[in-house]
Amino acid sequence: MAKPRVCVLRAPGTNCDVETAFAFESCGGTPESVHLFRLLEQPQRLQEFQILCVPGGFSYGDDIGAGVVFASQLRAHLFDALNEFLQADKLVLGICNGFQTLLKAGVLPDGQVSWQRQQSAPAQSTLTWNENGKYTARWVRLKVQSPQNVFLRGIDEIDLPIAHAEGRLVTHDSGLLSRWQSAGQAALTYTEWLADGSQLAPTWATNPNGSLGDLAGLSDASGRVLGLMPHPERYLFATQHPQWTRRGLRGAGAGLKIFQNAVNYFS
């Protein structure tokens, strides 16, 4: 197949769409920044794309809760369009606010399965306020737990930045985490920052928000849907790493790999 078309879906208040589209483009995709209102006018336009990406930001100001209004729009008006998209051999990526939106809409945790279920059953998991009660911007190190997820292929560990207030994954279902783990859905966990040989290292907590099972991201069981709180589109250049001047990093950033994997899936 030729270059996959990527729908970078932005709502009012989305603010990471430009760099996210740039990331896909750098990897050989053909991104288009599509305003939600256009999709509401013509829901079937979604089927023109191979990849759907909901980027970061503050959709609708996160006024009622992170991603809540955006999610309600998807559920109320785009059920059929998303249902068809999820059935096809296509990819869905939600970053930060996009992850919050996908989880609250029901595209995650189970892709097409939860998308169909959301009409009848309430959600079992949510993303809510960080344990420290604050918006927090810093870097984290992630361990890939779902290597079969298309976006995460060939990545073992990766450093990425987070910038969110509501990134703590919560559930009341005590068996949910282990079910996710056995189904390969516990996609990414926060892990310890690499020491650099000096006397001091970051004193921050490995898990920045108190998320269940140190989870930073979720995959559906098919491995074609990924939602994650950290921002891979903010590590496209080595100079974005917080320690690039210490580690002698130059050139491309490791975050690019996630977008490259998505584009490669269609080549």
Alpha-carbon distance of 142 to 230, in angstroms, equals 9
Contacts of another protein in 18-47 (CB under 8 A): 18-19, 22, 35, 37-38
| Residue 57 falls in which region: left (phi positive, over 0), alpha (psi -120 to 50) or beta | left
Q: How many residues bind another protein (CB under 8 A)?
A: 65
d(CA 139, CA 121): 35
**Which amino acid is located at 254 in the chain?**
A
If one asks whether residue 76 binds another protein (CB under 8 A), the answer comes out as yes
Residue 13 in the binding site for another protein (CB under 8 A): yes
Smallest separation (angstroms) from another protein to the CB of 23 = 8
Instruction: Select from 81-89, 194-202, 216-224, 258-266 the region that touches another protein (CB under 8 A).
Output: 194-202
16 has catalytic annotation? no
Minimum separation from the CB atom of position 17 to another protein (A)? 9
**Using the rule CB under 8 A, is 98 a contact of another protein?**
no
Residues 76, 119: Cα–Cα separation, whole Å: 10
Least distance in angstroms from the C-beta of 99 to another protein = 15
- Options 4, 29, 31, 56; binder of another protein; rule CB under 8 A: 56
The 227-246 contact track toward another protein, x by CB under 8 A, reads ----x-xx-xx-xx-xx-xx
- The answer to whether residue 53 is catalytic is no
Backbone angles phi, psi at 13, to 5 degrees: 95, -10
Q: Quote the CA–CA distance of 161 and 241 in Å, as a whole number.
A: 9
Give the integer Cα–Cα distance in Å for 141 and 138. Answer: 10
Longest dimension (CA), the chain: 58
Out of 42, 44, 48, 61, the residue judged to bind another protein by CB under 8 A: 61
Say whether residue 101 binds another protein (CB under 8 A).
no
Q: Which of residues 119-148 bind another protein (CB under 8 A)?
A: 122-126, 128-129, 131-139
- Can 25 be counted among the known catalytic residues? no
The order of strands in the sheet holding 215-219 is: 30-35, 5-10, 51-54, 91-95, 225-228, 215-219, 188-191, 136-144, 157-164
| 221/146 Cα distance (integer angstroms) | 10
Nearer Cβ to another protein, position 16 or 222?
16
Applying CB under 8 A, does 185 fall inside the site for another protein? no
d(CA 80, CA 105): 13
Tell me phi and psi for residue 52, to 5 degrees: -110, 125
Write out the catalytic residue numbers. Answer: 96, 231, 233
Q: What is the binding site for another protein (CB under 8 A)?
A: 12-13, 15-16, 18-19, 22, 35, 37-38, 56-58, 60-65, 68-69, 72-73, 76, 122-126, 128-129, 131-139, 161, 163, 170-172, 196, 198-204, 231, 233-234, 236-237, 239-240, 242-243, 245-246, 250
